[in-house]
Amino acid sequence: MLRNQRGFTLIELVITLFLLGILVSVTFPTYNGVYDRFLLQNTANEIKSALYLAQQYSLDESRDYCFELFQDIFRVREQKFGGRVVYRQKIDETIKVLPGYSSDATYNCHGTSSYSKFVLGNKKGEKIYIETMLGTGRARVSKIY
Q: What is the pLDDT of residues 83-101, one digit of tens each?
A: 899 999 999 999 999 988 8
Is this prediction's pTM over 0.75? yes
Structural domains counted in the chain: 1
Domain contains 59: yes
Q: What is the mean pLDDT of the chain?
A: 89
Domain contains 2: no
b/e per residue, 36-71, with b = 16+ CB within 10 A? Answer: beebbbebbeebbebbbbbbebbbeeeebbbbbbee
Domain with 49, as residue range(s), is 10-141
Domain contains 137: yes
Question: What CATH number should be reported for the domain holding residue 79?
Answer: 3.55.40.10
pLDDT score for 49: 95
Domain contains 103: yes
pLDDT score for 30: 67
pLDDT score for 8: 79
pLDDT single digits (tens) 33-76? 788 899 999 999 999 999 999 999 999 999 999 999 999 999 99
